[in-house]
Structure 1
Amino acid sequence: MAYSVMTDPPRRRRRSLYEPPRRRRRMAPLFALPLLPLVLLLSVGALASRFPAATLPDSSRSFPADSFVYDRAGHVIAELHRPGETRIPVPLTAISPDELRAIVAVEDRNFWQEGAIDWGRLAQAAVYDVSHHADAQGASTITEQLARLLYLNNQKTFERKLRELIIAHAMDSRLSKSEILDQYLNDVYFGHGATGIEAASRVYFGVSASQLDLAQASLLAGLPNAPSVLDPIQNPDGARGRQRVVLDAMVRNRAVSAAEADAAFQEKLQFGNGRGDDLNLYPQFTARVAQEVSAQLGQDPASAGLSIKTTLDAGLQQAAERAVQSRVAALSRLHVSDGAAVSLDPRTGDVLAYVGNAGAGHPGSNLDMAAQARQPGSTMKVVTYGAAIADRKVTMLTPVSDGPLTLPTGGGADGHQPWTVHDYDNGSHGTVPVAVALGNSLNIPAVRVEQQVGVAAVVQLARKLGITTLSNDPSSYGPSLTLGSYPVPLWQLAQAYGAVAGGGVLHPTRFLLSVTDASGREMLPAAGPGTSVLDPGAAFVMNQMLSDDSNRALVFGRGSALVIAGHRVAAKTGTTSDNKDALTVGWTPRVVTAAWVGNADNSAMDGVAGAMGAAPIWHSVMAAALGSGGDGWAAPPGNVHQLSWNGLQGWFLDGTSPGGPSLGADSTSGRSGCVSFPFLGQRPRFCASPTTP
């Protein structure tokens, strides 16, 4: 059937804006009708003369806008908006021409030719209202509607209408027609929480405004008139009737032909779910990004309309998610229900991957376990040995006893009782060099080294490395500090050991590369230089010890998950004494990764250690990050030298040398201070004179 323009009565049915509602119908005096347009014109003219033509009120209503989050390659990974609200401003060039023609035809057919006010249309509406005692529809131009949106309210009073006309006149003097239409289409409400045409296009049809066809455009153009009543999802018949009105107007305005209108009206439209786009591919990472935007810029990314480019490497992120999920699944029989992983670039602090939990279906799926402060276990020994090497209290070949050790304090619930230190395997391994003690994560030697350098020095270095949870007076920390009994978030461990990887230079963790506002203005300050927090020679010695697989062979064997073929990597595991946390942290100068497994409810696992539980996650992520590229290890700094002693090779800070007394006395090897090292492939025995610190 051929499309024909509807000939229904005029659609001005609202109560008049120019006079208060009446309880009963009365005919207006006929002699007053011709005077109404003149009265209105004179009133507006008198008021307008009191204001300069281009003057607008000091402030306008601001509308929240969605923010978009991008990975480091520029791909969208999240859209942030308030719950149930969405607004995505776009330029006119990003809006379908059909939508532009439809909205003009139905709301303000003379928009491109008239001024701010269509006097003829206004007078016609006023006469209609007075004679019919009913509200007129369509009397306000697009400019007037925008004035009302930005500066006024919807009160139907004569005073408000006059103010609307004055502001519209000022806007028309200051803005171009394109600017007015652009603002209107970005600020008008379309229902279902969608403000602006881009948001409406996505909410109702799942497409951008530039992709709207005539049928979709004509339906959306009809919604601002009464978005709740004409809701196409709840009231499809009402919306379709309004669509017909829009198409009629487009035909009358010669924006489309009758045939085109007929085809659009017959098109069967497919609607979406009526909700804003809740894209959020990596929720825990996105949450950290939002926190950083708020903390650094004082902006709410859910309403500020920002473009946020982040540090995330989406490929590495996905590899890390797979590694965490698969390992947690494999360990489920040992009462492991969650995991986390964080990867950083030590050269910049950029967060490359951030996995806060094992995903949906796991008890901690709504938690960010990478940000939870948990006991780090023996990974904390990196700080202890780093402080001792930097303070020249030990060298990498200093002999240290793994024999029995009981301290007068550190035990009991209050920490004031005697404390007997045990290795993880409850064994004793004689006297060993510092490098072997650290590589095999022996607890007793670590406590001896801590006693030698002092707990305060360990706390001080931890704080320099960016660990914020050790904020109490150093005297409040007991000797179990080196065994990781005080909680530290996983991401801070990655940040701290990134400084070791970077030769002693700390680059604070960074989630943001760029943040721009709606105008394209950069809001994020430039990143500062790194801070030297550890002697570069000490960092070099630490990296030498922790990247030598032979130093781990006593406990871990050769070729464990801490070794990545084709790469030289430093690594340290950690397991808490109550078996609630298992960790691995490892690095090259290019990337540092920290991995954790455990349970969000803090329940114990069934015998899962760091090397068994977290190391496979760490291995997978590091292998994906390093690929076939180089590791980036730098040449030795100028303040270290290499020496051989007792058949062992070692690196030493200037001013230090091998030899000297051992830390602690060996009571297990048959000869005080002697132990065999067949796994080193060097001299069969290592002996030193024992002393007690």
Structure 2
Amino acid sequence: MPSPASHPLKRTLIASLKISAYAGILALLALVVAVAVAMSSLPSYGELIRRDDLGQMVRVRATDGSVLVSLGPSFGEWLRYDQIPDIMKEAMVAVEDRRFRSHPGVDPVGVARALKVRIERGTWVQGGSTITQQLARNIFLTNSRTFGRKVKEAILALALERRFTKDQILELYLNRVYFGGGAYGIDAASRRFFGHSAEQLSLAEAAIIAGLVKAPSNYSPTADAEAARSRAGVVIKLMQETGDITAAEAAEAAPERVKLVPSPKQNSVRYFTDWVLPQLDTLIDETVEPIDVWTTLDPAMQRSADAAVNAHTPKGAQGALVALDRDGAVRAMVGGRDYVTSLYNRATQATRQPGSAFKLFVYLAALEAGYKPDDMVEDSPVTIAGWSPRNSGRGYSGPVTVREAFARSINTVAAKVGQEVGFRTVADMAQRFGITTKINTQPSMVLGTSDVRLLDLTRAFASVARKGVAVVPYGIRRVATAKGELLYEHRDDESRVLVAPWVAAQMTDLLQAAVLTGTGRAAQIGRPVAGKTGTTSSNKDGWFVGFSSGITTGVWMGRDDARALPGLQGGAAPARAFHDFMVQAVARRPVEKFDIEVALPDWQLEPDEEAWYGEPDPGMMVDADGNPIDPAAIQPLPEGQPVDQAAPGAQAPRGEERLDQDWLDRAVGREPAQREGQPAIRRPPAAPPQSPQQPRASTPPANPVERRPVPSQP
């Protein structure tokens, strides 16, 4: 007979069991309700196939199709379950969830094993998460290690198992899980690491991908190739244990022989991609679908540019280079010696004084005003508004041609020419050619005292090389979705003419002389080159900008803090860097001679001063049939006889009008010479006109440029 004391204990035990049973039932009911609610809120399978919740993937490609940089998540084609290789499915199940086909979404064995390890080691080492739980976490939750997140993960996993089939869950998982290197899904991982679609995966490649899920950062081939191959060996061994592959297949796999795609270099190329990617906002509206951005960058030219800048930039200084094709396509861009240590792009962001390279705009204005390369100018002391420029050699050469003055970069001549054409005119010319920074109009501006950007100055030289047609630098050729839908394509615009072709041709003549005989001789590359050096005061900046065979390249060197660099001159290190780069850049391009013999406009082909001040040309007399009449046969008209009744060849007496073209001009109120196919020339009636070769000025300049009369061209 039980003791009385045992009855309260029995009752307590029974009560505890009942409470536990009720709590279990309530918990089960709550779980069922939670799963049902979760099922009702789950997106459809079609909605889960879309991966726009991962962000937009942007792949930036070079001219040869190689990937310069990948931004955002990277994912390839969505592969249906039947498109995924069996070896890939088996590898993933073997390493991540052996009982995937049998559990309801949560694996009790896995949970028990994780709890056991937690008790033994005092920390969570194994999570016990199934493939379904991992899918729920990747789509709906974060990676926070909290008990609440694990409960939610389990509920969502049970709901997913009730809503979708095992095949659908595995398809979703393999297309959405993160494999490191920015790749989401097995197709993105396969293309990223092996360079081909996941449909062609080998056993070793599938093992490498399957081994990445545990720790994408540690085992990613982009981070540690050897660790990735070692982890693949573990996966292959597990597949052999589960019977998915034979011992012979495991031995033949050899992950160490798998060829991996090298990672894109993230050095000087990033100067270009950082400049070009913000432009997407103005070109396309697509912000969800993955896109490929096909750029103008030439990888070979970029490597040559990087090598040239690093080889010639003085110690302690920075260098920048930008190269434009004839239509403005940026083929190479280096914004500094090392992108990793300095993100600042000196090719597009830095504003520095260009020195004598700015004389391009002084002489463009002069040529447009009527100067010609062979005109004589005077190299002599000059003072303008209290400013007295000096030449680099401290001496003066006297009369020199415009060509020689530009080639030797004579400052006094540039000052006189700038004063004659007008400093505001020079500033306007610079802005016309694409200088976006503020240009001052002080007399010293002709020597390049206003800050400019390297890209802008290179653009201006490229417009001269294009015979006066505006060049707009661009870096994006086209943009397409991953499926090939074209979103944007660049179109060249040749409609904006900055100067007449003959002005650009004469400027090219001057630029070529600067390289052949002037300050830019170090830039010679064995084929026609035109360019200009630039050196600022105290050797703070060195420039060389020039063009050859359709490529225009600008080089700048200096210190970021604008301190002096002894020995830095545009004709030295920058010109040599230009030389080294251009030798490689144009090696496969045909040699192009400069077209500097361009027909001059009509007003430059008119008679010179002697013709204007001499006797007028009587012209040629013709009869009624248009045949020439011998001047000796012309007879004066009898008194009183009208002109239109005179015999052929008769000459109107003095004081009477003659029926000729001038008479017709006056009769119809047309200016002389304003006929079809001829420009209108308005001449003052009381005095002969000013020579068209001499720029007009309301008052003579303080230090006029002495010029020698040049015979008119036929």
TM-score by length of 1: 0.67
Q: CA RMSD in A?
A: 5.6
| Matched residue type, 2:104 | L
Match of 1:288 in 2: 272
Which residue is 2:300 aligned to? 315
Query: Is 1:327 the equivalent of 2:309?
Result: no
Amino acid at match of 2:431: R
**Amino acid across the alignment from 1:102:** A
In terms of fraction of residues, the more strand-rich structure is 1
Q: Highest Rg: 1 or 2?
A: 2
Maintained 8 Å contact 2:136/2:153: no
Q: Distance in 2 between matches of 1:630 and 1:241?
A: 55
For residue 468 of structure 1, report the CA deviation from its aligned partner. 1.3
Instruction: State which of 79, 82, 92 in structure 1 corresponds to 2:69.
Output: 79
Alpha carbons 1:251, 1:258 under 8 Å: kept: no
Match of 2:393 in 1: 425
Give the secondary-structure state (helix, strand or coil) at the position aligned to 1:323: helix
- Alpha-carbon distance between aligned partners in 2 of 1:81 and 1:133, rounded to the nearest angstrom: 39
Instruction: Name the residue aligned to 2:380.
Output: 403
The partner residue of 2:281 within 297, 300, 323 is 297
The residue that corresponds to 1:617 in the other structure is: 577
Match for 2:139: what amino acid? L
**Residue 537 of structure 2 aligns to which amino acid in structure 1?**
S
1:185-215 deviations in whole A, cap 9, x for unaligned?
3532457987555787899x99988597646
Contact 2:111 2:127 in 1 (8 A): no
- Aligned residue runs from structure 1 range 657-676, under 5 A: 657-658=692-693, 673=706
- Give, in whole Å, the separation in 2 of the partners of 1:75 and 1:124: 43
Corresponding residue for residue 373 of structure 1: 351
Change (3 A) 1:456 1:182: farther
Q: 1:79 to 1:52 in 2, by over 3 A?
A: closer
Pair 1:459–1:181, CA change in 2 (3 A): farther
Cα pair distance change 1:191/1:129, threshold 3 Å: same
Determine if the alignment matches structure 1 residue 479 to structure 2 residue 443. yes
- Check conservation: 1:297, 1:524, Cα contact below 8 A: no
Distance across 2 between alignment mates of 1:666 and 1:230: 75
Equivalent residue, structure 2, for 1:463: 431
Q: Shift of the alpha carbon at 1:49?
A: 6.8
Counterparts of residues 95-114 of structure 1 (less than 5 Å): 98-105=87-94
Identify the match of residue 353 of structure 1 among 329, 332, 337.
332
Higher normalized helix content (fraction of residues) = 2
2:370–2:694: 8 Å Cα contact kept in structure 1? no
Cα distance 1:645–1:340, how it changes in 2: closer, same or farther (>3 A)? farther
The code of the aligned residue for 1:419 comes to W
Partner of 1:561: 522
Unaligned runs of 5+ in 1: 1-24, 112-117, 409-417, 647-652, 675-685, 689-693
Task: Check 1:433–1:48 CA distance in 2 against 1; reply closer, same or farther (3 A cut).
Answer: same
Identify which of 308, 317, 320 aligns with 1:340: 320
Letter in 2 for 1:63: L
Q: 2-side partners of 1:182 and 1:208: how far apart?
A: 19
CA spacing shift, 1:229–1:462, aligned 2, 3 Å: closer
- Distance in 1 (alpha carbons) for counterparts of 2:411 and 2:474: 33
Q: CA deviation at 1:490?
A: 1.6
Structure 1 residue identity aligned to 2:294:
K
Residue number in structure 1 paired with 2:466 = 502
Counterpart in 2 of 1:574? 534
Q: 1:564 to 1:342 in 2, by over 3 A?
A: same
Aligned counterpart, 1:583? 543
- In the alignment, residue 443 of structure 2 is paired with which amino acid? P
Cα distance, 1:519 vs structure 2? 4.0
Q: Deviations over 1:630-654 (max 9, x none)?
A: 42755736747886999xxxxxx99
Q: What is the CA distance between 1:344 and its match in structure 2?
A: 0.8
Is the Cα contact below 8 Å between 1:218 and 1:247 reproduced in 2?
Answer: no
Q: Residue type matched to 1:561 in 2?
A: A
Secondary structure of the residue aligned to 1:374 is coil
* Partner Cα distance (1:307, 1:514) in 2: 8
Tell me if the contact between 1:581 and 1:598 (Cα under 8 Å) persists in the aligned partners: yes
What is the CA–CA distance in structure 2 between the aligned matches of 1:125 and 1:355, rounded to whole Å? 55
* DSSP-derived class of the 1:354 partner: strand
The one of 99, 121, 137 equivalent to 2:103 is 121
Superposed displacement of residue 382, structure 1: 0.9
The offset of 1:453, in angstroms, is 2.5
Conserved 8 A contact 2:470-2:496:
yes
Measured in 2, the distance between the counterparts of 1:645 and 1:536 equals: 21
Does the aligned pair in 2 maintain the 1:549–1:563 contact within 8 Å? no
Output one character per residue of 1:326-376: Cα deviation in whole Å (capped at 9) or x when no partner: 434xxx5xx784433322112x20112223345599xx8765433322211
SS of structure 1 residue aligned to 2:449 = coil
* CA–CA distance in structure 1, aligned partners of residues 248 and 586 of structure 2: 61
State whether structure 2 residue 181 is matched by structure 1 residue 221: no
Aligned counterparts of 2:179 and 2:551: Cα–Cα separation in 1 = 48
Inter-partner Cα distance in structure 2 for 1:654 and 1:109: 93
CA distance in 2, matches of 1:607, 1:323: 18
Instruction: Report what 2:365 is aligned to.
Output: 387
**What is the one-letter code of the residue matched to 1:458?**
V
Change (3 A) 1:107 1:66: same
Deviations along 1:408-447, whole A, 9 cap, x unmatched? 2xxxxxxxxx211112222212233433322322111212
Any gaps of 5 or more consecutive residues in structure 2? 1-15, 119-125, 609-678, 682-690
- Contact between 1:376 and 1:488, CA under 8 Å: does it hold in 2? yes
Matched position secondary structure for 1:386: helix
Q: Quote the Cα distance in structure 1 between the aligned partners of 2:515 and 2:241.
A: 83
**Contact 1:350–1:509 at 8 Å: present in 2 too?**
yes
Q: Distance in 1 between matches of 2:93 and 2:113?
A: 28
**CA apart distance, 1:66:** 6.3
In 1, Cα distance between the equivalents of 2:41 and 2:316? 75
1:307 alignment partner AA: D
- Distance in 2 (CA, whole Å) between partners of 1:467 and 1:315 is 29
Give secondary structure in 2 for the equivalent of 1:493. helix
Q: Which amino acid aligns with 1:438?
A: F
The percentage of aligned residue pairs carrying the same residue is 28
TM-score scaled to structure 2, two decimals?
Answer: 0.66
Question: What SS class does the counterpart of residue 533 from structure 2 fall into?
Answer: strand
Number of corresponding residues: 593
DSSP-derived class of the 1:406 partner: coil
Shift in Å, 1:478 = 1.6
| Residue of structure 1 equivalent to 2:407 | 439
Q: Which moved more, 1:86-95 or 1:65-74?
A: 86-95
2:542 is aligned with 1:593 = no
Contact map agreement 2:463 2:471 (CA 8 A) in 1: yes
